[in-house]
Amino acid sequence: PWRALLPKFGNAQSVTQPDDHVTVPERDPLELRCIYSSSFSPYLFWYVQYPNHGLQFLLKYISGSPLVKGIKGFEAEFRKNETSFHLRKTSAHLSDSATYFCALSDTVTETARGAEHKHTET
């Protein structure tokens, strides 16, 4: 299942991953959708959780170029007009099987700035 990871802030904001489950043939393009709602220009993140492992940071958008390149061939594009931040990969592999989380914040706090460096095993 694709779930939303929502940091708690006082302003009305949300992130939705409309697809519960996505299956693509190996080597086909992969897209995981993320739709956000925020009264501010949000900071957006994608994380992945492989089976029996903790969350791993994939990529983030804070400002600048709307196309963000991440690790393992993933990228996402910030589209303000569509309020979307879809995760894409040109060629999916069996090793990409995992749970993916889209997250947002309306401000970068110390915790959010270091989010890509935190790794917790479960």
Closest by CA position to 46, among listed 21, 38, 36: 36
Whether residue 46 is contained in a domain is answered as yes
- Does the structure show a pLDDT above 90 at 43? yes
Distance of CA 50 to the CA centre of its chain: 14
Whether residue 61 is contained in a domain is answered as yes
Task: Give me the domain span that covers residue 47.
Answer: 3-111
More confident residue, 1 or 43: 43
Whether residue 116 is contained in a domain is answered as no
Across the strands, what pairs with 76?
A: 68, 87
pLDDT in tens, 68-77: 999 999 999 9
CATH of the domain at 61: 2.60.40.10
Reported as a pLDDT band with limits 50, 70 and 90, residue 111 is very low
More confident residue, 9 or 80: 80
Q: Number of folded domains in the chain?
A: 1
